[in-house]
Amino acid sequence: IKGSAKKKSNDTDTYGNSYTKTIGAGYSSMIWDKTEASYNLDKKYNTLTATIFGRSGKSETGYYSVVIYGDGTVLYENYSIADNGRAFDISIDITGVSELLVEIDVSSNNIITKGIAMADVVLQRTVA
């Protein structure tokens, strides 16, 4: 992982569900801008799956975004992820992608104990 995305070995969402090996921004990490994680895939994978979740200790809702690029092209974008919403899964075709970039933007709200993250990221290898 390159950039300022916060890696955590264990994390918990708003509803108490536990996740392992997460990357995220906001809450506890004190990162309140657009953060990035970059992966060199070398065109060896065809599917990315992950769980996106929010974490909020407050009653008001903050909305954040995740954008995933493959070689500079947007493959996934969601600009309205609620930090107190339920976790959800994504699946993205990454066939032929050399450089994968994940941007997590939490700059819209600087309240500690809020943020979003990705967990259970799986890259399926392309069968040659």
Write the pLDDT tens digit of every residue in 75-110: 999 999 988 889 999 999 999 999 999 988 877 655
Q: In what order do the strands lie in the sheet with 45-56?
A: 6-12, 18-26, 114-125, 45-56, 88-93
Q: Per the structure block, which two tokens stand in for 20?
A: 């392992």
In sequence order, what are the residues at sequence separation of 6 or more whose Cβ sits closer than 8 angstroms to the Cβ of residue 127? none
Q: What is d(CA 77, CA 52) in angstroms, rounded to the nearest whole number?
A: 12
Q: Which residue has the higher pLDDT, 16 or 112?
A: 16
Residue 123 has pLDDT above 60, yes or no: yes
Residue 128 has pLDDT above 80, yes or no: no
Q: Per the structure block, which two tokens stand in for 85?
A: 């919403």
Count other C-beta atoms under 10 Å from residue 42's C-beta. Answer: 9
C-alpha distance from residue 122 to each of 12, 30, 69, 111, 117 (Å): 19, 26, 16, 30, 15
CB of 94 within 8 A of CB of 75?
Answer: yes
Instruction: Give the confidence band of 11 by pLDDT, cuts at 50, 70, 90.
Output: confident
pLDDT of residue 10: 87
Count other C-beta atoms under 10 Å from residue 122's C-beta. Answer: 11
Q: Per the structure block, which two tokens stand in for 66?
A: 């995740």
Does the model's pTM come out above 0.75? yes
